[in-house]
């Protein structure tokens, strides 16, 4: 009888010790601060034991049997989300389990720069290794259709910003998000516009914003630049802006714009054609959108670069020619 009692006591002590170890293990960091984050993927349909094995196979010191037991005890075994994750220093098994339940995937980011063309945006998206490239074989028109856009010309229709996404996401997610953001920003600005502005549609305002974006890197002058071009539109004066000519030249542009380029007619040559070009010429940022739809109140019709990043604005051709002689010759 005494022997049975001893066995019982040992079993109880062993159980308590195991339970204590299990509690300690579940709340103790899997990797220390000196270890780099470990990336791993959970395939669709994985239970807790399979997930633990996949994590261990990626190089993380996780014990699949204990991980499975923890998931079952906490009733989270069937709630794990497939995807790519990062095990960061300081994460406990319990924290890791919660991460998988919440679907806190490994985050990637992509920055789209103000003033890029859509071609440059597509190149940046195509070069990002964290994306699944579903759009690579699509034309611009097909890409727009794939993200549910009603437009057929892609230029200017994507908002430049930094976008976060789960590693392995479809690149169409980036295009869809950037397009939706652009439409939101554009429509918000359009709703607050001065009705006297010479735009027939938000798209024309977007085209103006893209011109403003390319005409100056000086944010403080964007309102004045927009004011000049709006004044020209109102009186039927040609916009005569080099960035539209350059855009129309396409691959022919070699970094220089010549007199012959200004005289060669294209749909984007605002030296040979009146009004706005047929599409935007770049991806405008928020400040350029704001400038196009709330331009500075000015009588200026001309501007010339001072060579220091700022411009000299003039109300008449005589003053403009003086400014050109002063700053450009």
At residue 97, the 3 state secondary structure works out as helix
239 — phi, psi (to 5°)? -70, -35
pLDDT value at residue 296: 94
Bridge partners of residue 110, in order along the sequence: 163
Alpha carbons 159 and 153: distance in angstroms, whole number: 15
pLDDT value at residue 201: 96
Residue 212 vs residues 237, 283, 300: alpha-carbon distances, Å: 17, 11, 15
- CA 90 to mean position of chain CA atoms: 30
pLDDT value at residue 2: 55
pLDDT value at residue 177: 96
The Cβ of residue 312 has, within 10 Å, a number of other Cβ atoms equal to: 18
| 166-217 per-position pLDDT tens digit | 888 899 999 999 999 999 999 999 999 988 999 999 999 999 999 999 998 7
DSSP H/E element including 312: strand 311-314
pLDDT value at residue 16: 43
pLDDT value at residue 25: 81
Give the closest residue to 196 by CA, choosing from 158, 227, 221: 227
DSSP H/E element including 15: helix 2-26
Pseudo-torsion of CA 219, 242, 185, 226, nearest 10°? 60
| DSSP calls for 128-142 | -TTSB-SSTT--HHH
Structure tokens at 245: 């000519």
pLDDT value at residue 273: 96
If the chain, 329 residues long, is cut into consecutive pieces of 10 residues, what is the mean pLDDT of each piece? 50 51 82 87 90 92 91 89 89 92 87 96 95 95 96 97 90 97 96 93 98 89 96 96 94 90 94 96 96 94 86 89 83
The crossing angle, in degrees rounded to 10, of helices 171-191 and 202-215 is 100
Residues in Cβ contact with 188 at an 8 Å cutoff, skipping those fewer than 6 apart: none
- With tokens 């080099």, the residue in question is 242
At residue 83, the 3 state secondary structure works out as strand
Number of residues in the chain? 329
CB 240 within 8 A of CB 270: yes
């Amino acid at each position: 009888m005494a022997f049975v009692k001893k066995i019982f006591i040992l079993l109880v002590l062993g159980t308590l010790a195991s339970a204590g170890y299990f509690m300690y293990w579940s709340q103790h960091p899997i990797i220390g601060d000196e270890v780099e984050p470990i990336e791993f993927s959970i395939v669709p349909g994985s239970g807790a034991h399979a997930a633990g094995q996949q994590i261990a196979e990626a190089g993380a010191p996780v014990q699949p049997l204990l991980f499975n037991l923890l998931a079952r005890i906490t009733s989270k075994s069937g709630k794990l989300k497939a995807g790519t994750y990062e095990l960061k220093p300081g994460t406990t098994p319990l924290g890791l389990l919660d991460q998988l339940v919440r679907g806190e995937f490994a985050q990637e980011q992509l920055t789209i720069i103000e003033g890029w063309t859509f071609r440059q945006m597509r190149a940046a998206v195509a070069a990002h290794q964290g994306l699944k490239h579903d759009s690579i074989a699509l034309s611009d028109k097909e890409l727009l259709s794939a993200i549910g856009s009603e437009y057929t010309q892609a230029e200017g229709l994507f908002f430049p910003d930094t976008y976060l996404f789960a590693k392995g996401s479809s690149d169409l997610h980036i295009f869809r998000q950037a397009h939706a953001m652009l439409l939101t920003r554009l429509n918000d600005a359009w709703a607050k516009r001065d009705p006297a502005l010479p735009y027939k549609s938000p798209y024309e305002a977007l085209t103006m914003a893209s011109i403003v974006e390319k005409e100056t890197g000086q944010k403080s002058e964007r309102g004045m630049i927009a004011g000049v071009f709006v004044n020209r539109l109102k009186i039927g004066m040609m916009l005569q802006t080099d960035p539209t000519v350059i855009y129309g030249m396409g691959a022919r542009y070699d970094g220089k714009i010549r007199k012959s380029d200004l005289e060669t007619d294209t749909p984007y040559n605002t030296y040979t054609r009146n009004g706005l070009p047929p599409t935007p010429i770049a991806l405008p940022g928020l400040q350029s959108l704001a400038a196009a739809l709330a331009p500075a109140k000015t009588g200026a019709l001309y501007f010339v670069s001072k060579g220091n990043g700022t411009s000299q604005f003039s109300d008449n051709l005589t003053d403009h020619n003086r400014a050109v002689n002063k700053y450009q010759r």
